[in-house]
Amino acid sequence: MTSNINTKPITATSRNKTFDLLRGLAILSVICVHISQVFQIHIKYVDSILAAGRFGVQLFFFVSALTMCYMWELRNGEANQVVKFYVRRFLRIAPLFWIAIPAYLWINGVDESHWMPEGVGLHQIFLTAMFLHGFWPDSINSVVPGGWSIAVEMTFYLIFPLLITHINNRDYFLYLAIVCYFLNVALINSTVINLMGVDLTNSTLLRDFL
């Protein structure tokens, strides 16, 4: 009697070079846009190309989703696959991010600034530590600069096993995408009703996650 469980080890040769290339392009794009925000070249087309780097994070999200689907299939059938997925994702993100929280609090302080107009309090620190800061505009980048992208990633990691294991029909993914699109449009509309007492029209997480 044979088993259909995939026991093939994940090695360096399992890496998809196309995904690595796209991931590198995404990182380069983010670097370019941040350079353009600090140093203006004042050459229209060059500035436009550098500014387009703002889509690098969205490209990274896209590649991350493809990579997770790819790796999920490679590990298909392993024992406790969902639990191991969460453990791997958590250990990849949480330790360094948690170290970044006190580090940036020490560097930037807790006083009012561009990303924290009311300063940083326990509310912002707690939400950031729990990876929920993306849902509250006053907490998105208040503790860790650029931390909004981590909130998006962790939210997607949370629901990924549910999507990949319970939605086996491609049509369902299409319907889900359509619903998310119109939900996104509704939530960023200026007439949106406040959710949980917070105006979500400026929620970076909602715009980029949905």
Q: Say whether both 64 and 138 belong to one domain.
A: no
Give the residue from 46, 74, 102 where a domain finishes: 74
> Quick check: is 194 in a domain?
yes
Six-digit token pair at 43? 């050459």
Q: Say whether both 115 and 166 belong to one domain.
A: yes
> Quick check: is 56 in a domain?
yes
> Quick check: is 79 in a domain?
no
The pLDDT value given to residue 196:
43
The pLDDT value given to residue 3:
42
pTM (two decimals): 0.73
Residue matched to tokens 């449009």: 185
Q: Say whether both 168 and 112 belong to one domain.
A: yes
Q: Say whether both 117 and 210 belong to one domain.
A: yes
Q: Say whether both 129 and 199 belong to one domain.
A: yes
- Residue type present at position 210: L
The whole domain housing 45 covers 12-74
Are the C-beta atoms of 128 and 147 separated by less than 8 Å? yes
Q: Rounded CA gap, 171 and 177, in Å?
A: 10
Q: Say whether both 38 and 98 belong to one domain.
A: no
HSE at residue 96, side-chain half, CA atoms within 13 A, is 6
pLDDT tens across 155-194, in order?
A: 999 989 988 887 767 777 778 778 877 776 666 554 444 5
The tally of domains found in the chain comes to 2
Q: Rounded CA gap, 26 and 65, in Å?
A: 14
Q: Say whether both 70 and 112 belong to one domain.
A: no
Backbone angles phi, psi at 110, to 5 degrees: -120, 10
Q: Say whether both 65 and 98 belong to one domain.
A: no
Q: Rounded CA gap, 137 and 200, in Å?
A: 7
Q: Say whether both 141 and 41 belong to one domain.
A: no
Q: Say whether both 210 and 113 belong to one domain.
A: yes
Q: Say whether both 69 and 96 belong to one domain.
A: no
> Quick check: is 1 in a domain?
no
Residues of the chain with pLDDT below 50 are 1-7, 12, 190-193, 195-198, 201
> Quick check: is 210 in a domain?
yes
